[in-house]
Amino acid sequence: MREVAGKTAFVTGGASGIGFALGRAFAEAGMNVMLADIETDALTAAVRSLRDFGPKVRSVACDVADPVSVERAAAAAYAAFGNVHVVCNNAGVAAGSGIDVISLDTWRWVLDVNLMGVLHGIRTFLPHIRAHGEGGHIVNTASMAGMLAAGMGFSPYAASKFAVVAMSEGLAAELQPLGIGVTALCPGYVRTRIAEAARNRPPRYGEHVGSPLGSRVAELVRTGIDPREVAARVLDAVRNDEHYAFTHAEYRDSLKERFQAILTAYDKLDGAAL
Ligand code: NAI
């Protein structure tokens, strides 16, 4: 979508971190922006800090784990701005590790937000974007943890992010003929509040059991890149219709190693009777 000025973006997880930076970058590019988030106080503060953009930046409460809530938030965006063109399915949470130690409720929480939340955004907005025919772009926030699981140590998170990458790749192929772009956003560590994700854990998922995210991860996040760098990369990816948006150059060797290991295993088929 070369021309974004005058178009409308809907960003989940828009009250903090990457989502907030995306909202600001879109507003600076001349777009209308609807920030959607489960944390309403943070949403109010986010809109206040973007007040220079006036009524072009608004907010709506939304729990992406709940499809009805996403539908309602979409209706608020249509009422405020008319058609929506760019949808960032960005809200996400992380929890501690130990595949057999953490509770099933923790698995459900992470998958409900990080995977089903993305799906709910796609199912809600895609028919609308197809119908208005003005072009569109869907950005799904995955992670380098959706490319490299080894050593990450928090299994539901990596599982959800691998799934988001797979879903985005499939969707990109499906929507290419319609001129609707899809980007899987795969950042490394970014300076946000992700290490405090438990602040938004609804009581229905119970208490966290197992190890917490850990001080090492918190430190990596604290020293991560500025979310504004991520937002600039995303804006570029939207304008140039890119399927992947990476933000950290240092993972190249690890990616190569993973892909090479897969190819080496695959090449054992050589000479085998198929
Ligand atoms: P953050 O914690 O600063 O922002 C996440 C936002 O999502 C918060 O405003 C939170 O209230 C919202 N949220 C949580 N549950 C929600 C729900 N059920 N419905 C709606 N909103 C909800 O964290 P950050 O880092 O900005 O996270 C954004 C995305 O970036 C996530 O998908 C995360 O997995 C991803 N990511 C973050 C990285 C990092 O190092 N910070 C690295 C790679 C990916």
| Domain layout of the chain by residue ranges | 8-266
Would the pLDDT of 15 be above 80?
Answer: yes
The residue whose CB lies within 8 Å of the most ligand 1 atoms, and thus the one to mutate among 40, 72, 194, 201, is 194
Q: Tell me the mean pLDDT in the region 53-80.
A: 98
63 lines ligand 1 (CB under 6 A): yes
Q: What separation in Å is there between the alpha carbon of 272 and the centre of ligand 1?
A: 46
Q: What separation in Å is there between the alpha carbon of 197 and the centre of ligand 1?
A: 7
- Which value, to the nearest 10 degrees, does the dihedral of the CA atoms of residues 29, 45, 194, 253 take? 20
pLDDT band at 208, cuts 50/70/90?
confident
15-19, 57-61, 208-212: which has the minimum mean pLDDT? 208-212
Q: What separation in Å is there between the alpha carbon of 209 and the centre of ligand 1?
A: 21
pLDDT value of residue 100 = 78
Question: Of 94, 196, 69, which Cα lies nearest the Cα of 152?
Answer: 94
62 lines ligand 1 (CB under 6 A): yes
Residue bearing tokens 């943890």:
145
Q: Which residues contact 131 (CB under 8 A, 6 or more apart)?
A: none
Question: Of 60, 108, 118, which Cα lies nearest the Cα of 87?
Answer: 118
pLDDT value of residue 215 = 80
56-72: burial string, b at 16+ Cβ within 10 Å, e else: bbbbbebbbbbbebbeb
Residue % of the chain over a pLDDT of 70: 96
Q: Tell me the mean pLDDT in the region 222-234.
A: 98
Q: Tell me the mean pLDDT in the region 194-206.
A: 93
Would the pLDDT of 56 be above 90?
Answer: yes
pLDDT value of residue 226 = 98
27: left (phi over 0), alpha (psi -120 to 50) or beta: alpha
pLDDT band at 23, cuts 50/70/90?
very high
Which residue's CA is the closest to the ligand 1 atom numbered 19? 63
CA distance 258 to 272: 23
Helix (H) or strand (E) holding 180: strand 180-186
- pTM of the shown model: 0.97
Q: Tell me the mean pLDDT in the region 144-152.
A: 81
Task: Find the catalytic residue in 157, 189, 205, 244.
Answer: 157
- 157 has catalytic annotation: yes
pLDDT band at 272, cuts 50/70/90?
low
The residue whose CB lies within 8 Å of the most ligand 1 atoms, and thus the one to mutate among 10, 11, 12, 18, is 18
Q: Do 248 and 187 touch, CB atoms closer than 8 A?
A: yes
Residue % of the chain over a pLDDT of 90: 86
pLDDT value of residue 97 = 72
Q: What separation in Å is there between the alpha carbon of 271 and the centre of ligand 1?
A: 47
Q: What CATH code would you report for 8-266?
A: 3.40.50.720
pLDDT band at 212, cuts 50/70/90?
low
Instruction: Return the ligand 1 atom nearest residue 197 CA.
Output: 2
Helix (H) or strand (E) holding 189: none
112 lines ligand 1 (CB under 6 A): no
Would the pLDDT of 152 be above 90?
Answer: no
